[in-house]
Structure 1
Protein backbone atom coordinates (compact mmCIF):
# COMPACT_ATOMS: atom_id res chain seq x y z
CA UNK A 1 0.00 0.00 0.00
CA UNK A 2 1.49 3.29 -1.00
CA UNK A 3 1.29 6.37 1.21
CA UNK A 4 0.78 9.82 -0.26
CA UNK A 5 -0.09 13.30 0.93
CA UNK A 6 -3.36 13.21 -0.98
CA UNK A 7 -6.06 10.58 -1.02
CA UNK A 8 -5.49 7.36 -2.87
CA UNK A 9 -8.61 6.35 -4.75
CA UNK A 10 -11.98 8.06 -5.00
CA UNK A 11 -13.42 10.96 -3.02
CA UNK A 12 -16.60 10.53 -1.03
CA UNK A 13 -19.54 11.75 -3.14
CA UNK A 14 -20.73 15.18 -2.15
CA UNK A 15 -24.48 14.60 -2.04
CA UNK A 16 -26.29 12.89 0.80
CA UNK A 17 -28.15 10.42 -1.37
CA UNK A 18 -24.98 8.81 -2.64
CA UNK A 19 -23.35 8.91 0.80
CA UNK A 20 -26.32 7.15 2.37
CA UNK A 21 -25.69 4.26 0.00
CA UNK A 22 -22.40 3.76 1.80
CA UNK A 23 -22.54 1.10 4.49
CA UNK A 24 -20.00 2.74 6.79
CA UNK A 25 -17.04 5.08 7.08
CA UNK A 26 -13.90 3.80 8.81
CA UNK A 27 -11.14 6.11 10.06
CA UNK A 28 -7.80 4.64 11.15
CA UNK A 29 -4.47 6.13 12.14
CA UNK A 30 -1.91 6.52 14.94
CA UNK A 31 -2.64 8.14 18.27
CA UNK A 32 -3.10 11.93 18.34
CA UNK A 33 -3.29 12.11 14.54
CA UNK A 34 -6.64 13.89 14.27
CA UNK A 35 -9.01 10.94 13.79
CA UNK A 36 -11.59 12.07 16.36
CA UNK A 37 -11.95 15.55 14.90
CA UNK A 38 -12.45 14.08 11.44
CA UNK A 39 -15.03 11.62 12.78
CA UNK A 40 -16.97 14.49 14.39
CA UNK A 41 -16.91 16.49 11.17
CA UNK A 42 -18.17 13.56 9.11
CA UNK A 43 -20.81 12.69 11.72
CA UNK A 44 -22.14 16.27 11.65
CA UNK A 45 -22.20 16.26 7.90
CA UNK A 46 -23.92 12.91 7.38
CA UNK A 47 -25.93 12.47 10.57
CA UNK A 48 -23.70 9.56 11.58
CA UNK A 49 -22.97 7.73 14.81
CA UNK A 50 -19.34 7.37 15.93
CA UNK A 51 -18.30 3.85 16.94
CA UNK A 52 -15.10 3.34 18.92
CA UNK A 53 -12.33 1.03 17.66
CA UNK A 54 -9.67 1.91 20.23
CA UNK A 55 -8.80 -0.80 22.76
CA UNK A 56 -8.15 1.66 25.62
CA UNK A 57 -11.14 3.96 25.11
CA UNK A 58 -13.50 1.08 25.89
CA UNK A 59 -12.62 1.24 29.61
CA UNK A 60 -14.67 3.36 32.00
CA UNK A 61 -11.81 4.17 34.37
CA UNK A 62 -9.70 6.36 32.10
CA UNK A 63 -11.35 9.21 30.26
CA UNK A 64 -8.58 11.81 30.04
CA UNK A 65 -5.50 9.62 29.48
CA UNK A 66 -7.18 7.61 26.72
CA UNK A 67 -8.39 10.80 24.98
CA UNK A 68 -12.01 9.74 24.96
CA UNK A 69 -14.43 12.26 23.43
CA UNK A 70 -15.63 14.91 25.86
CA UNK A 71 -19.15 15.43 27.15
CA UNK A 72 -19.85 18.19 24.62
CA UNK A 73 -18.88 15.96 21.70
CA UNK A 74 -20.84 12.98 23.00
CA UNK A 75 -23.84 15.20 23.62
CA UNK A 76 -23.77 16.58 20.09
CA UNK A 77 -23.18 13.32 18.18
CA UNK A 78 -24.14 9.78 19.27
CA UNK A 79 -21.12 7.70 20.33
CA UNK A 80 -21.04 3.94 20.93
CA UNK A 81 -18.58 1.54 22.60
CA UNK A 82 -16.86 4.21 24.68
CA UNK A 83 -16.25 3.53 28.38
CA UNK A 84 -18.63 0.57 28.44
CA UNK A 85 -16.16 -1.96 29.91
CA UNK A 86 -15.43 -2.00 33.67
CA UNK A 87 -11.79 -1.34 34.52
CA UNK A 88 -11.71 -4.62 36.46
CA UNK A 89 -12.08 -6.58 33.23
CA UNK A 90 -9.91 -7.50 30.25
CA UNK A 91 -11.47 -6.89 26.85
CA UNK A 92 -10.48 -8.83 23.74
CA UNK A 93 -10.79 -8.28 20.02
CA UNK A 94 -13.40 -11.05 20.05
CA UNK A 95 -15.48 -9.17 22.62
CA UNK A 96 -15.21 -5.98 20.57
CA UNK A 97 -16.23 -7.86 17.41
CA UNK A 98 -19.37 -9.18 19.11
CA UNK A 99 -20.26 -5.80 20.61
CA UNK A 100 -19.64 -3.99 17.33
CA UNK A 101 -21.79 -6.53 15.50
CA UNK A 102 -24.75 -5.60 17.73
CA UNK A 103 -24.12 -1.86 17.44
CA UNK A 104 -23.82 -1.92 13.65
CA UNK A 105 -27.03 -3.92 13.37
CA UNK A 106 -28.81 -1.34 15.53
CA UNK A 107 -27.52 1.52 13.38
CA UNK A 108 -28.61 -0.18 10.17
CA UNK A 109 -32.10 -0.58 11.61
CA UNK A 110 -32.12 3.09 12.61
CA UNK A 111 -30.87 4.18 9.20
CA UNK A 112 -27.74 5.86 10.61
CA UNK A 113 -24.31 5.58 9.01
CA UNK A 114 -21.66 4.24 11.40
CA UNK A 115 -18.37 6.11 11.51
CA UNK A 116 -15.92 3.64 13.04
CA UNK A 117 -12.79 5.36 14.35
CA UNK A 118 -9.73 4.09 16.19
CA UNK A 119 -6.12 3.07 16.15
CA UNK A 120 -6.35 -0.57 17.23
CA UNK A 121 -5.37 -2.46 14.12
CA UNK A 122 -6.81 -5.83 15.16
CA UNK A 123 -10.24 -4.28 15.74
CA UNK A 124 -10.18 -2.67 12.31
CA UNK A 125 -8.94 -5.86 10.71
CA UNK A 126 -11.81 -7.81 12.29
CA UNK A 127 -14.26 -5.13 11.16
CA UNK A 128 -13.28 -5.24 7.49
CA UNK A 129 -11.84 -8.75 7.18
CA UNK A 130 -13.64 -10.88 9.75
CA UNK A 131 -12.51 -12.49 12.98
CA UNK A 132 -10.70 -15.79 13.10
CA UNK A 133 -11.76 -18.46 15.59
CA UNK A 134 -8.86 -19.01 17.99
CA UNK A 135 -8.41 -22.39 19.69
CA UNK A 136 -8.92 -22.89 23.44
CA UNK A 137 -5.71 -22.61 25.47
CA UNK A 138 -5.04 -24.79 28.53
CA UNK A 139 -5.07 -22.68 31.69
CA UNK A 140 -1.79 -24.15 32.93
CA UNK A 141 0.04 -23.22 29.70
CA UNK A 142 -1.35 -19.69 29.84
CA UNK A 143 -0.32 -19.18 33.46
CA UNK A 144 3.20 -20.51 32.85
CA UNK A 145 3.79 -18.20 29.90
CA UNK A 146 2.37 -15.15 31.66
CA UNK A 147 4.55 -15.88 34.67
CA UNK A 148 7.61 -16.13 32.46
CA UNK A 149 6.69 -12.89 30.75
CA UNK A 150 6.85 -11.16 34.13
CA UNK A 151 10.07 -12.79 35.24
CA UNK A 152 12.04 -12.95 31.98
CA UNK A 153 10.59 -10.17 29.85
CA UNK A 154 9.09 -10.19 26.34
CA UNK A 155 12.37 -10.33 24.42
CA UNK A 156 13.24 -13.79 25.78
CA UNK A 157 9.83 -15.15 24.79
CA UNK A 158 10.10 -13.48 21.40
CA UNK A 159 13.31 -15.43 20.74
CA UNK A 160 11.49 -18.67 21.54
CA UNK A 161 8.62 -17.68 19.28
CA UNK A 162 11.08 -16.97 16.46
CA UNK A 163 12.22 -20.59 16.68
CA UNK A 164 8.74 -22.12 16.96
CA UNK A 165 6.67 -19.78 14.77
CA UNK A 166 8.99 -17.56 12.68
CA UNK A 167 6.07 -16.13 10.71
CA UNK A 168 4.31 -14.82 13.81
CA UNK A 169 7.55 -13.58 15.39
CA UNK A 170 8.47 -11.59 12.30
CA UNK A 171 5.27 -9.58 12.55
CA UNK A 172 5.54 -8.75 16.26
CA UNK A 173 7.42 -6.08 18.15
CA UNK A 174 9.85 -7.90 20.51
CA UNK A 175 8.51 -5.67 23.30
CA UNK A 176 4.86 -6.62 22.75
CA UNK A 177 4.62 -9.20 25.49
CA UNK A 178 0.87 -9.73 25.34
CA UNK A 179 0.80 -10.71 21.67
CA UNK A 180 4.01 -12.73 21.93
CA UNK A 181 2.48 -14.81 24.71
CA UNK A 182 -0.69 -15.25 22.67
CA UNK A 183 1.24 -16.55 19.67
CA UNK A 184 3.26 -18.93 21.88
CA UNK A 185 0.08 -20.20 23.52
CA UNK A 186 -1.42 -21.09 20.16
CA UNK A 187 1.61 -22.76 18.63
CA UNK A 188 2.30 -24.81 21.76
CA UNK A 189 -1.33 -25.80 22.27
CA UNK A 190 -2.01 -26.76 18.64
CA UNK A 191 1.28 -27.11 16.80
CA UNK A 192 -0.04 -24.53 14.31
CA UNK A 193 0.93 -20.93 13.71
CA UNK A 194 -1.48 -18.31 14.97
CA UNK A 195 -1.39 -16.97 11.41
CA UNK A 196 -3.10 -20.12 10.13
CA UNK A 197 -6.06 -19.51 12.44
CA UNK A 198 -6.26 -15.86 11.42
CA UNK A 199 -6.41 -16.97 7.80
CA UNK A 200 -9.67 -18.77 8.62
CA UNK A 201 -11.47 -15.50 9.23
CA UNK A 202 -15.19 -15.20 9.84
CA UNK A 203 -17.48 -12.72 8.19
CA UNK A 204 -16.52 -9.03 8.02
CA UNK A 205 -18.86 -6.64 9.85
CA UNK A 206 -18.92 -4.24 6.89
CA UNK A 207 -18.64 -4.69 3.14
CA UNK A 208 -15.33 -3.08 2.10
CA UNK A 209 -16.76 -2.34 -1.34
CA UNK A 210 -19.46 -0.17 0.30
CA UNK A 211 -17.28 1.35 2.99
CA UNK A 212 -15.15 4.46 2.77
CA UNK A 213 -11.85 3.63 4.46
CA UNK A 214 -9.69 6.58 5.54
CA UNK A 215 -6.16 6.28 6.93
CA UNK A 216 -4.70 9.41 8.55
CA UNK A 217 -0.88 9.29 8.68
CA UNK A 218 0.54 12.68 9.70
CA UNK A 219 4.12 13.57 8.82
CA UNK A 220 6.43 12.22 11.54
CA UNK A 221 7.73 15.53 12.94
CA UNK A 222 4.26 17.02 13.05
CA UNK A 223 2.83 13.93 14.76
CA UNK A 224 5.54 14.04 17.42
CA UNK A 225 4.57 17.63 18.19
CA UNK A 226 0.85 16.74 18.26
CA UNK A 227 1.54 13.94 20.76
CA UNK A 228 3.47 16.25 23.09
CA UNK A 229 0.79 18.94 22.87
CA UNK A 230 -1.98 16.48 23.61
CA UNK A 231 -0.28 15.06 26.69
CA UNK A 232 0.23 18.56 28.08
CA UNK A 233 -3.49 19.16 27.55
CA UNK A 234 -4.24 15.90 29.37
CA UNK A 235 -2.19 17.06 32.35
CA UNK A 236 -4.04 20.38 32.43
CA UNK A 237 -7.36 18.53 32.22
CA UNK A 238 -6.65 16.49 35.36
CA UNK A 239 -4.78 13.36 34.27
CA UNK A 240 -2.92 13.17 37.58
CA UNK A 241 -6.16 13.18 39.56
CA UNK A 242 -7.61 10.57 37.22
CA UNK A 243 -4.70 8.22 37.89
CA UNK A 244 -4.94 8.83 41.62
CA UNK A 245 -8.60 7.88 41.56
CA UNK A 246 -7.86 4.75 39.50
CA UNK A 247 -5.12 3.69 41.94
CA UNK A 248 -7.49 4.10 44.86
CA UNK A 249 -9.46 1.15 43.48
CA UNK A 250 -6.43 -1.12 44.02
CA UNK A 251 -6.81 -2.92 40.72
CA UNK A 252 -4.44 -5.64 39.53
CA UNK A 253 -1.42 -4.24 37.72
CA UNK A 254 -1.96 -6.93 35.08
CA UNK A 255 -5.22 -5.38 33.88
CA UNK A 256 -5.09 -3.55 30.52
CA UNK A 257 -6.37 -0.30 32.01
CA UNK A 258 -3.36 -0.18 34.35
CA UNK A 259 -1.03 -0.50 31.36
CA UNK A 260 -2.40 2.52 29.51
CA UNK A 261 0.28 5.05 28.58
CA UNK A 262 0.59 7.58 31.36
CA UNK A 263 -0.70 5.44 34.22
CA UNK A 264 2.69 4.04 35.18
CA UNK A 265 4.46 7.37 34.71
CA UNK A 266 1.98 9.42 36.74
CA UNK A 267 1.83 6.70 39.38
CA UNK A 268 5.56 7.21 39.88
CA UNK A 269 4.90 10.91 40.53
CA UNK A 270 2.22 10.07 43.08
CA UNK A 271 4.65 7.70 44.80
CA UNK A 272 7.36 10.37 44.90
CA UNK A 273 9.65 8.42 42.57
CA UNK A 274 9.56 10.83 39.63
CA UNK A 275 9.01 14.51 38.95
CA UNK A 276 5.98 15.64 36.93
CA UNK A 277 8.30 16.89 34.18
CA UNK A 278 10.11 13.57 33.90
CA UNK A 279 6.81 11.67 33.92
CA UNK A 280 5.47 13.81 31.11
CA UNK A 281 8.64 13.32 29.08
CA UNK A 282 8.50 9.55 29.51
CA UNK A 283 4.80 9.34 28.69
CA UNK A 284 5.30 11.42 25.55
CA UNK A 285 8.18 9.17 24.50
CA UNK A 286 6.05 6.06 25.08
CA UNK A 287 3.22 7.59 23.03
CA UNK A 288 5.59 8.39 20.18
CA UNK A 289 6.93 4.85 20.21
CA UNK A 290 3.37 3.52 20.17
CA UNK A 291 2.46 5.78 17.26
CA UNK A 292 5.49 4.49 15.36
CA UNK A 293 4.37 0.88 15.89
CA UNK A 294 0.84 1.78 14.80
CA UNK A 295 2.09 3.48 11.64
CA UNK A 296 4.24 0.47 10.74
CA UNK A 297 1.27 -1.86 11.29
CA UNK A 298 -1.06 0.21 9.13
CA UNK A 299 1.44 0.44 6.29
CA UNK A 300 2.14 -3.30 6.32
CA UNK A 301 -1.20 -4.86 7.28
CA UNK A 302 -4.03 -2.87 5.74
CA UNK A 303 -5.10 -4.05 2.27
CA UNK A 304 -5.49 -1.86 -0.78
CA UNK A 305 -8.50 0.40 -1.03
CA UNK A 306 -7.73 2.78 1.83
CA UNK A 307 -7.47 6.52 1.17
CA UNK A 308 -4.36 7.91 2.83
CA UNK A 309 -3.99 11.48 4.08
CA UNK A 310 -1.29 13.37 5.99
CA UNK A 311 -3.89 15.93 7.13
CA UNK A 312 -7.18 14.68 8.55
CA UNK A 313 -9.00 17.72 7.16
CA UNK A 314 -7.96 16.75 3.64
CA UNK A 315 -10.42 13.85 3.84
CA UNK A 316 -13.23 16.39 3.71
CA UNK A 317 -14.37 18.13 0.56
CA UNK A 318 -13.18 21.76 0.69
CA UNK A 319 -15.55 24.38 1.99
CA UNK A 320 -18.22 22.02 3.35
CA UNK A 321 -17.19 21.17 6.91
CA UNK A 322 -14.45 22.39 9.24
CA UNK A 323 -12.54 19.91 11.42
CA UNK A 324 -12.29 21.27 14.96
Structure 2
Protein backbone atom coordinates (compact mmCIF):
# COMPACT_ATOMS: atom_id res chain seq x y z
CA UNK A 1 0.00 0.00 0.00
CA UNK A 2 1.33 3.41 -0.94
CA UNK A 3 -0.99 5.49 1.21
CA UNK A 4 -2.10 7.41 -1.89
CA UNK A 5 -5.75 7.90 -2.69
CA UNK A 6 -7.37 5.26 -4.88
CA UNK A 7 -9.32 5.82 -8.09
CA UNK A 8 -10.85 3.10 -10.23
CA UNK A 9 -11.68 3.89 -13.86
CA UNK A 10 -14.18 1.51 -15.46
CA UNK A 11 -14.72 2.11 -19.17
CA UNK A 12 -16.48 -0.02 -21.74
CA UNK A 13 -19.27 -0.17 -24.28
CA UNK A 14 -22.91 0.16 -23.38
CA UNK A 15 -24.48 -2.88 -21.69
CA UNK A 16 -21.11 -4.39 -20.73
CA UNK A 17 -21.91 -4.42 -17.02
CA UNK A 18 -19.96 -1.35 -15.92
CA UNK A 19 -22.53 -0.09 -13.42
CA UNK A 20 -22.86 -3.49 -11.75
CA UNK A 21 -19.10 -3.76 -11.29
CA UNK A 22 -18.85 -0.17 -9.99
CA UNK A 23 -21.57 -0.91 -7.43
CA UNK A 24 -19.79 -4.08 -6.32
CA UNK A 25 -16.55 -2.18 -5.72
CA UNK A 26 -18.30 0.74 -4.03
CA UNK A 27 -20.08 -1.55 -1.59
CA UNK A 28 -16.87 -3.43 -0.76
CA UNK A 29 -14.75 -0.31 -0.25
CA UNK A 30 -17.24 2.43 0.75
CA UNK A 31 -16.50 4.09 -2.56
CA UNK A 32 -18.07 7.01 -4.40
CA UNK A 33 -19.36 6.21 -7.89
CA UNK A 34 -18.93 9.09 -10.35
CA UNK A 35 -20.84 9.01 -13.61
CA UNK A 36 -18.58 9.24 -16.65
CA UNK A 37 -21.23 8.93 -19.35
CA UNK A 38 -22.28 11.95 -21.38
CA UNK A 39 -25.95 10.95 -21.62
CA UNK A 40 -26.48 9.79 -18.05
CA UNK A 41 -25.71 13.30 -16.76
CA UNK A 42 -29.07 14.52 -18.09
CA UNK A 43 -32.38 14.35 -16.25
CA UNK A 44 -35.69 13.18 -17.79
CA UNK A 45 -34.24 10.05 -19.47
CA UNK A 46 -33.31 7.71 -16.62
CA UNK A 47 -34.53 4.50 -18.27
CA UNK A 48 -33.54 5.41 -21.84
CA UNK A 49 -29.95 6.18 -20.83
CA UNK A 50 -29.72 3.20 -18.43
CA UNK A 51 -28.96 5.28 -15.35
CA UNK A 52 -28.79 3.31 -12.09
CA UNK A 53 -32.21 2.72 -10.56
CA UNK A 54 -33.39 3.65 -7.09
CA UNK A 55 -32.28 0.34 -5.60
CA UNK A 56 -28.69 0.84 -6.80
CA UNK A 57 -28.65 4.48 -5.73
CA UNK A 58 -29.66 3.41 -2.23
CA UNK A 59 -26.77 0.96 -1.97
CA UNK A 60 -23.88 3.35 -2.71
CA UNK A 61 -23.00 7.01 -3.10
CA UNK A 62 -23.62 8.00 -6.75
CA UNK A 63 -22.65 11.39 -8.20
CA UNK A 64 -23.37 13.27 -11.47
CA UNK A 65 -26.33 11.14 -12.49
CA UNK A 66 -29.30 13.06 -13.85
CA UNK A 67 -28.03 16.38 -12.51
CA UNK A 68 -28.11 18.39 -15.74
CA UNK A 69 -31.39 19.71 -17.22
CA UNK A 70 -32.28 18.24 -20.61
CA UNK A 71 -32.40 21.77 -21.99
CA UNK A 72 -28.64 22.27 -21.50
CA UNK A 73 -25.56 21.40 -23.50
CA UNK A 74 -23.06 19.90 -21.06
CA UNK A 75 -19.51 19.89 -22.39
CA UNK A 76 -16.56 17.69 -21.50
CA UNK A 77 -14.96 20.69 -19.81
CA UNK A 78 -18.04 21.20 -17.65
CA UNK A 79 -18.04 17.53 -16.69
CA UNK A 80 -14.37 17.72 -15.74
CA UNK A 81 -15.03 20.74 -13.53
CA UNK A 82 -17.90 18.88 -11.85
CA UNK A 83 -15.66 15.85 -11.33
CA UNK A 84 -12.95 18.06 -9.85
CA UNK A 85 -15.50 19.43 -7.39
CA UNK A 86 -16.13 15.86 -6.24
CA UNK A 87 -12.46 14.87 -6.06
CA UNK A 88 -11.31 17.74 -3.84
CA UNK A 89 -13.67 17.43 -0.83
CA UNK A 90 -14.07 13.63 -0.81
CA UNK A 91 -12.29 12.09 2.20
CA UNK A 92 -9.05 10.40 1.20
CA UNK A 93 -10.07 7.01 2.61
CA UNK A 94 -12.99 6.76 0.16
CA UNK A 95 -12.03 5.49 -3.30
CA UNK A 96 -13.52 7.22 -6.31
CA UNK A 97 -14.97 4.94 -8.98
CA UNK A 98 -15.40 6.62 -12.36
CA UNK A 99 -17.67 4.56 -14.60
CA UNK A 100 -19.08 5.16 -18.05
CA UNK A 101 -18.79 4.83 -21.78
CA UNK A 102 -17.61 8.32 -22.77
CA UNK A 103 -13.94 8.01 -23.62
CA UNK A 104 -13.33 11.76 -23.73
CA UNK A 105 -14.34 12.04 -20.09
CA UNK A 106 -11.70 9.53 -19.03
CA UNK A 107 -9.13 11.19 -21.27
CA UNK A 108 -9.87 14.56 -19.68
CA UNK A 109 -9.78 13.05 -16.20
CA UNK A 110 -6.27 11.70 -16.74
CA UNK A 111 -4.76 14.27 -19.09
CA UNK A 112 -6.75 17.44 -18.59
CA UNK A 113 -8.95 19.36 -20.97
CA UNK A 114 -8.58 22.71 -22.64
CA UNK A 115 -10.30 25.43 -20.61
CA UNK A 116 -12.48 27.03 -23.25
CA UNK A 117 -14.87 29.83 -22.24
CA UNK A 118 -18.57 29.08 -22.39
CA UNK A 119 -19.92 29.84 -25.84
CA UNK A 120 -23.25 31.71 -25.88
CA UNK A 121 -26.14 29.59 -27.13
CA UNK A 122 -27.03 32.19 -29.74
CA UNK A 123 -23.58 31.89 -31.35
CA UNK A 124 -23.84 28.10 -31.50
CA UNK A 125 -27.29 28.24 -33.07
CA UNK A 126 -26.14 30.80 -35.64
CA UNK A 127 -23.26 28.57 -36.73
CA UNK A 128 -25.53 25.51 -36.90
CA UNK A 129 -27.87 27.32 -39.25
CA UNK A 130 -24.97 28.54 -41.36
CA UNK A 131 -23.46 25.10 -41.97
CA UNK A 132 -26.55 22.89 -42.10
CA UNK A 133 -26.55 22.65 -45.92
CA UNK A 134 -22.82 21.88 -46.26
CA UNK A 135 -21.62 18.45 -47.34
CA UNK A 136 -18.52 16.73 -45.92
CA UNK A 137 -16.13 18.32 -48.41
CA UNK A 138 -17.51 21.79 -47.85
CA UNK A 139 -17.27 21.38 -44.08
CA UNK A 140 -13.63 20.38 -44.36
CA UNK A 141 -12.83 23.29 -46.68
CA UNK A 142 -14.51 25.79 -44.35
CA UNK A 143 -12.63 24.51 -41.30
CA UNK A 144 -9.34 24.55 -43.22
CA UNK A 145 -9.92 28.24 -43.90
CA UNK A 146 -11.07 29.13 -40.39
CA UNK A 147 -8.84 26.89 -38.23
CA UNK A 148 -6.28 24.86 -40.25
CA UNK A 149 -4.71 23.28 -37.15
CA UNK A 150 -8.03 21.85 -35.95
CA UNK A 151 -8.85 20.66 -39.47
CA UNK A 152 -5.52 18.83 -39.59
CA UNK A 153 -6.27 17.01 -36.31
CA UNK A 154 -9.75 15.79 -37.20
CA UNK A 155 -10.23 12.63 -39.22
CA UNK A 156 -13.84 13.58 -39.92
CA UNK A 157 -15.23 17.12 -39.86
CA UNK A 158 -18.79 16.35 -38.83
CA UNK A 159 -21.32 19.15 -38.19
CA UNK A 160 -20.88 18.96 -34.41
CA UNK A 161 -17.09 19.40 -34.54
CA UNK A 162 -17.31 22.16 -37.14
CA UNK A 163 -19.94 23.98 -35.09
CA UNK A 164 -17.74 23.77 -32.02
CA UNK A 165 -14.65 25.14 -33.77
CA UNK A 166 -16.44 28.02 -35.49
CA UNK A 167 -18.50 28.96 -32.44
CA UNK A 168 -15.40 29.11 -30.23
CA UNK A 169 -13.60 31.34 -32.72
CA UNK A 170 -16.51 33.73 -33.09
CA UNK A 171 -17.28 33.90 -29.38
CA UNK A 172 -13.71 34.27 -28.12
CA UNK A 173 -11.68 35.61 -31.05
CA UNK A 174 -9.28 32.68 -30.59
CA UNK A 175 -8.91 29.39 -32.43
CA UNK A 176 -10.06 26.17 -30.82
CA UNK A 177 -6.62 24.74 -31.58
CA UNK A 178 -5.00 27.57 -29.59
CA UNK A 179 -6.94 26.55 -26.49
CA UNK A 180 -6.14 22.89 -27.04
CA UNK A 181 -2.42 23.59 -27.34
CA UNK A 182 -2.24 25.14 -23.88
CA UNK A 183 -0.68 23.01 -21.15
CA UNK A 184 -3.26 20.76 -19.52
CA UNK A 185 -3.19 18.52 -16.46
CA UNK A 186 -5.60 15.88 -15.19
CA UNK A 187 -7.20 15.77 -11.76
CA UNK A 188 -5.91 12.41 -10.52
CA UNK A 189 -2.25 13.26 -10.03
CA UNK A 190 -2.30 12.30 -6.35
CA UNK A 191 -4.06 8.97 -6.87
CA UNK A 192 -3.20 5.34 -7.37
CA UNK A 193 -5.24 4.77 -10.52
CA UNK A 194 -6.60 1.40 -11.56
CA UNK A 195 -7.81 1.36 -15.17
CA UNK A 196 -9.91 -1.24 -16.93
CA UNK A 197 -12.02 -1.66 -20.06
CA UNK A 198 -14.87 -4.14 -19.89
CA UNK A 199 -14.74 -6.19 -23.07
CA UNK A 200 -17.45 -8.88 -23.29
CA UNK A 201 -17.71 -11.23 -26.25
CA UNK A 202 -19.29 -9.42 -29.18
CA UNK A 203 -22.27 -11.77 -29.48
CA UNK A 204 -22.86 -11.70 -25.73
CA UNK A 205 -22.93 -7.90 -25.87
CA UNK A 206 -25.33 -7.85 -28.82
CA UNK A 207 -27.72 -10.14 -26.98
CA UNK A 208 -27.54 -8.02 -23.83
CA UNK A 209 -28.33 -4.90 -25.82
CA UNK A 210 -31.36 -6.54 -27.45
CA UNK A 211 -32.74 -7.76 -24.13
CA UNK A 212 -32.10 -4.47 -22.40
CA UNK A 213 -33.84 -2.22 -24.88
CA UNK A 214 -36.94 -4.39 -24.97
CA UNK A 215 -37.04 -4.20 -21.17
CA UNK A 216 -36.57 -0.42 -21.38
CA UNK A 217 -39.47 -0.07 -23.80
CA UNK A 218 -41.80 -1.79 -21.36
CA UNK A 219 -40.19 -0.29 -18.26
CA UNK A 220 -40.78 3.44 -18.59
CA UNK A 221 -38.80 4.52 -21.65
CA UNK A 222 -41.94 5.38 -23.62
CA UNK A 223 -43.23 7.65 -20.86
CA UNK A 224 -39.80 9.34 -20.60
CA UNK A 225 -39.67 10.12 -24.31
CA UNK A 226 -43.21 11.46 -24.22
CA UNK A 227 -42.22 13.74 -21.32
CA UNK A 228 -39.12 14.88 -23.17
CA UNK A 229 -41.08 15.71 -26.31
CA UNK A 230 -43.55 17.68 -24.23
CA UNK A 231 -40.71 20.05 -23.31
CA UNK A 232 -40.45 21.09 -26.98
CA UNK A 233 -36.67 21.37 -26.84
CA UNK A 234 -34.27 22.30 -29.63
CA UNK A 235 -33.78 19.09 -31.67
CA UNK A 236 -30.03 19.76 -31.83
CA UNK A 237 -29.59 19.37 -28.05
CA UNK A 238 -27.53 16.32 -27.02
CA UNK A 239 -30.36 14.74 -25.03
CA UNK A 240 -32.58 14.75 -28.12
CA UNK A 241 -30.02 12.52 -29.85
CA UNK A 242 -30.01 9.82 -27.19
CA UNK A 243 -30.57 6.42 -28.74
CA UNK A 244 -34.21 5.51 -28.34
CA UNK A 245 -35.63 9.02 -28.48
CA UNK A 246 -36.18 9.04 -32.24
CA UNK A 247 -37.27 5.39 -32.39
CA UNK A 248 -39.77 5.64 -29.55
CA UNK A 249 -40.90 8.96 -30.98
CA UNK A 250 -41.68 7.13 -34.22
CA UNK A 251 -43.82 4.66 -32.27
CA UNK A 252 -45.61 7.48 -30.44
CA UNK A 253 -46.35 9.13 -33.78
CA UNK A 254 -47.71 5.91 -35.27
CA UNK A 255 -44.96 5.69 -37.88
CA UNK A 256 -43.47 2.52 -36.35
CA UNK A 257 -44.96 -0.43 -34.54
CA UNK A 258 -43.51 -1.68 -31.27
CA UNK A 259 -41.30 -4.34 -32.84
CA UNK A 260 -39.92 -1.94 -35.46
CA UNK A 261 -39.08 0.70 -32.86
CA UNK A 262 -37.31 -1.83 -30.65
CA UNK A 263 -35.42 -3.32 -33.60
CA UNK A 264 -34.22 0.06 -34.88
CA UNK A 265 -33.12 1.20 -31.41
CA UNK A 266 -31.35 -2.10 -30.81
CA UNK A 267 -29.44 -1.83 -34.09
CA UNK A 268 -28.48 1.79 -33.31
CA UNK A 269 -27.26 0.77 -29.85
CA UNK A 270 -25.23 -2.11 -31.25
CA UNK A 271 -23.62 0.22 -33.78
CA UNK A 272 -22.83 2.68 -30.99
CA UNK A 273 -21.26 -0.09 -28.92
CA UNK A 274 -19.08 -1.00 -31.90
CA UNK A 275 -17.87 2.61 -32.17
CA UNK A 276 -17.16 2.67 -28.44
CA UNK A 277 -15.10 -0.50 -28.65
CA UNK A 278 -13.11 0.92 -31.55
CA UNK A 279 -12.44 4.14 -29.62
CA UNK A 280 -11.27 2.29 -26.52
CA UNK A 281 -9.10 -0.04 -28.60
CA UNK A 282 -7.42 2.89 -30.36
CA UNK A 283 -7.08 5.25 -27.42
CA UNK A 284 -6.93 2.94 -24.40
CA UNK A 285 -5.11 0.02 -25.95
CA UNK A 286 -2.82 -0.31 -22.92
CA UNK A 287 -5.67 -0.48 -20.39
CA UNK A 288 -6.23 -3.99 -18.96
CA UNK A 289 -9.22 -5.78 -20.51
CA UNK A 290 -11.78 -7.54 -18.39
CA UNK A 291 -14.24 -10.16 -19.58
CA UNK A 292 -18.00 -10.24 -19.20
CA UNK A 293 -19.34 -8.47 -16.14
CA UNK A 294 -22.64 -9.33 -14.53
CA UNK A 295 -25.58 -7.18 -15.56
TM bin (shorter chain): 0.7 to 0.9
Deviations 1:13-72 (A, max 9, x none): xxxxx4974421011111111111111111122111100011111111110000000100
Match of 1:252 in 2: 234
* Alignment pair present for 1:229 and 2:208: no
> Structure 1 residues 187 and 102, CA, compared in 2 at 3 Å: closer, same or farther?
closer
Give the Cα–Cα distance (whole angstroms) in 2 for the partners of residues 33 and 19 of structure 1: 31
Cα distance, 1:190 vs. partner?
6.5
Match of 2:24 in 1: 41
Within 5 A, what are the aligned runs for 1:208-227? 210-227=192-209
Contact in 2 for aligned 1:27/1:116 (Cα 8 Å): yes
**Number of equivalences:** 293
Contact in 1 for aligned 2:201/2:292 (Cα 8 Å): no
Task: Give TM-score scaled by structure 1 length.
Answer: 0.79
User: SS of the residue aligned with 1:62?
Assistant: coil
Give the Cα–Cα distance (whole angstroms) in 2 for the partners of residues 102 and 140 of structure 1: 28
* Alignment pair present for 1:54 and 2:37: yes
Task: Give TM-score scaled by structure 2 length.
Answer: 0.86
User: SS of the residue aligned with 2:113?
Assistant: coil
Deviations 1:51-101 (A, max 9, x none): 001111111111000000010000011100001111121111111111111
User: SS of the residue aligned with 1:107?
Assistant: coil
> Structure 1 residues 148 and 287, CA, compared in 2 at 3 Å: closer, same or farther?
farther
Which structure 1 segments of 5+ residues have no match?
Answer: 1-17, 314-322
* Alignment pair present for 1:123 and 2:105: yes
Give the Cα–Cα distance (whole angstroms) in 1 for the partners of residues 8 and 138 of structure 2: 40
> Structure 1 residues 241 and 41, CA, compared in 2 at 3 Å: closer, same or farther?
same
Give the Cα–Cα distance (whole angstroms) in 1 for the partners of residues 59 and 122 of structure 2: 48
Give the Cα–Cα distance (whole angstroms) in 2 for the partners of residues 225 and 283 of structure 1: 13
Cα distance, 1:141 vs. partner?
6.4
Contact in 1 for aligned 2:143/2:150 (Cα 8 Å): no
Deviations 1:247-283 (A, max 9, x none): 1222222222111111111111111122221111111
* Alignment pair present for 1:307 and 2:291: no
User: SS of the residue aligned with 1:108?
Assistant: coil
Give the Cα–Cα distance (whole angstroms) in 1 for the partners of residues 7 and 207 of structure 2: 31
Which structure 2 segments of 5+ residues have no match?
Answer: none
